[in-house]
Structure 1
Amino acid sequence: MTTTKSAQFDQKAATSTPSHKEAPPSEIIVAKHANLVQEDPYRPTPQSVSTVRRLKEAAKCMLPDSLFLSMLHHKRIGRYPNLLRPATFNEKILQRNLRPDPRYISLTDKLSVREYIAAKIGEKHLIPLISAPEVFTREVFDALPGSFVMKANHGSTFVEIVRDKSETSFEKLQLLAGQWLSTEFYYVARERHYRTIKPRIFFEQLLLDQSGQIPADYKLHCFGGRPGRPIIYILVISDRFGKATHGDVYDVDWNHLDVAIGYYKRSAKPAPRPKNLASVLDIAATLCEDFDYVRVDLYAPDNQVFFGELTFTPGAGVLPFTPDSIDYEWGKLLG
């Protein structure tokens, strides 16, 4: 893929999406995304960098979206993407970054998507919402229960788990909330549908299983757009907020596949087949009815199923697969 073609694609894509907001000073952008966005092995996240590196990253912020993404794809995947004739899964996701379906905005927003989910599968599958204040004040903090999860609606990895409220403080959470709200997530990986999501802080019930543990995160990659049931692959992330995090890929029959997605390490042996696997798959199939592809995130503790989020551009289109051939296989499924 040449620079000229990439720039041409970006010019074409820009005509079908709203114009960018005026970017803040590039060094501020780099500082925010180097220090405020938490690390997630599933997607690229800038790390703390030297002054020289910061200047280089600042220069990248001035690049057109398609050129920026081409460089990021080369860095993460090891080759430049073909944005004009995409063949791989990642290349097709990059196209979504640049030319998102307008529906992605409200369905990516972690607050507004709740109405859609309630209508599709019922409110019982929503994690109970404690509060979604316009402003996070001490009064809001004082009214929170003894345990909860604080999140932001406009990006990935904005999650703070509070098991015991007495061990944190309003000041600590207020600072963290301010950092999240001031981060424009679009600049991390140029996923354009994030630009118009109004940042909000909200609080959910802390979801625990009967053993008091945070349940595994089920990320179901759902390929629809064809008659019959969608093709589904399940990435199960266990102990996500602990020290023994693993990511394992299963098919719908719970066969443990020799595949790795992102930077998660595969477990030596598979987890037990969930008793409610059929319910998990049925809910995922229902939520992907309107799309040719969507990643449906669910939690399935103790024979229940709770909704996490819908993701239309997983890994921002720079998601490594092991083996690399999966990138091409999934590209065919995406149509």
Structure 2
Amino acid sequence: MSLPRRLFNGAKGWLPDTAYLMLYHRHKVGRFPNVRAPETFNEKILYRCLFPDPRYADLADKLNVRDYVQRKVGEQYLTEIIATPERFTREEFDSLPISFVMKANHGSGFVKLVRDKAETSFEELDALAREWLITDFYRIARERHYRTIKPRIFFEELLLDSSGAVPADIKIHCFFNGRDSQPTIYIALISDRFGEHPRGDMYDGNWNRLDIAIGHYPRSEVAAPRPQCFDELISVAVSLAEGFEYVRVDLYAPDDRILFGELTFTPGAGVFPMHPDIVDYEWGRLMDVKGVG
């Protein structure tokens, strides 16, 4: 690890949010961001991290957001919740079905897939749950709307398609720029996320694959077929995104059964490398953020 990187890792715990995000943006994206007059997509997402809409916290909470989804599109798009224990005990573990997913509500990446409960233990899951619950997700990337979310552990159904595979993540970026009644849509498809060969591909609002790479996932060799439920996927995403200038709506569609994943208002915390770099500017023009001062 380089000396600048070691110094940054040592200092990031006490750096103010703005300084931390500016340095991290420089490290990941390759340039210092302009927070006072943000221009790119990443700069405007970084601005949201520092000055979040008061609505973000409730809707970023993976449990509280379910009420919003039910009101906007209906409970048929919600996964089955198995348990939301105040405390995870051995009795709770014993009562869980053979397969399930353990999650935490207060951040990203808190996901444990269990296909067969016999292959894990209460002790293993309890240790993981405790680790998640003491993690202050706000401190990881300084996304301020996560500060007020009370950490909870919950268990939900394990989503599998008819072949037994975990369905792809369908991440629908919805930009309402005020000029049109319908948003501009980009769709990131993350396949085999929990497997050996995860892939990430970007599509436009008509399911044309784009020569765009975002994040660390390599692209697939061939484009995925357009989902049979594509029109409904877009309709659900747009309904959930209405009222926001931009939001990423994550959905799943195992065997064309559409299910809600989460709403993300600050994807990548404003430090997502985008290739080619011009996409960062093109997406930025779809958002109207004035900046500060």
Q: Give aligned-pair identity as a percent.
A: 60
Specify the SS of the correspondent of 1:333.
coil
Aligned letter for 2:13? C
- Residue 290 of structure 1 corresponds to which residue in structure 2? 243
Aligned letter for 1:295? R
Specify the SS of the correspondent of 1:283.
helix
Specify the SS of the correspondent of 2:22.
helix
Q: Say whether 1:265 aligns with 2:218.
A: yes
Q: Distance in 2 between matches of 1:142 and 1:274?
A: 38
Spell out the pairing of 1:55-204 with structure 2 (5 A cutoff): 56-204=8-156
Report the alpha carbon displacement of residue 254 of structure 1 after superposing the two structures with TM: 1.1
1:129, 1:204 within 8 Å by CA — same for their partners in 2? Answer: yes
Aligned letter for 1:334? M
In the TM superposition, what whole-angstrom CA distance separates every residue of 1:54-76 from its partner, at most 9, and x where no partner exists?
A: 77523221111111100000000
Specify the SS of the correspondent of 1:187.
helix
Q: Distance in 2 between matches of 1:145 and 1:306?
A: 20
TM-score by length of 2: 0.95
Q: 2:194 aligns with which of 232, 237, 241?
A: 241
Q: Structure 1: 5+ residue runs without aligned partners?
A: 1-48
Q: Which is worse superposed, 261-270 or 169-178?
A: 261-270
Q: Say whether 1:231 aligns with 2:184.
A: yes
Q: Distance in 1 between matches of 2:21 and 2:5?
A: 18
Q: Distance in 2 between matches of 1:334 and 1:121?
A: 25
Q: Say whether 1:256 aligns with 2:199.
A: no
1:225, 1:291 within 8 Å by CA — same for their partners in 2? Answer: no
Report the alpha carbon displacement of residue 302 of structure 1 after superposing the two structures with TM: 1.1
Aligned letter for 2:45? I
Q: Distance in 2 between matches of 1:55 and 1:200?
A: 33
In the TM superposition, what whole-angstrom CA distance separates every residue of 1:239-267 from its partner, at most 9, and x where no partner exists?
A: 00001100000112111100011111111
Specify the SS of the correspondent of 2:210.
coil
2:177, 2:286 within 8 Å by CA — same for their partners in 1? Answer: no
Q: Distance in 1 between matches of 2:101 and 2:284?
A: 35
Specify the SS of the correspondent of 2:285.
helix
RMSD: 1.5
- Residue 314 of structure 1 corresponds to which residue in structure 2? 267
Q: From the superposition, tell whether residues 138 and 55 of structure 1 become closer, same or farther in structure 2 (CA, over 3 Å).
A: farther
In the TM superposition, what whole-angstrom CA distance separates every residue of 1:247-302 from its partner, at most 9, and x where no partner exists?
A: 00011211110001111111111011110000100001101111000000000111
TM-score by length of 1: 0.83
Specify the SS of the correspondent of 1:272.
coil
1:108, 1:311 within 8 Å by CA — same for their partners in 2? Answer: yes
Q: Say whether 1:302 aligns with 2:255.
A: yes
Q: Distance in 2 between matches of 1:80 and 1:252?
A: 31
Q: From the superposition, tell whether residues 58 and 121 of structure 1 become closer, same or farther in structure 2 (CA, over 3 Å).
A: same
Report the alpha carbon displacement of residue 224 of structure 1 after superposing the two structures with TM: 1.3
Specify the SS of the correspondent of 2:188.
strand
Q: Distance in 2 between matches of 1:100 and 1:71?
A: 20
1:260, 1:323 within 8 Å by CA — same for their partners in 2? Answer: yes
Higher RCO (C-alpha 8 Å, min separation 6): 2
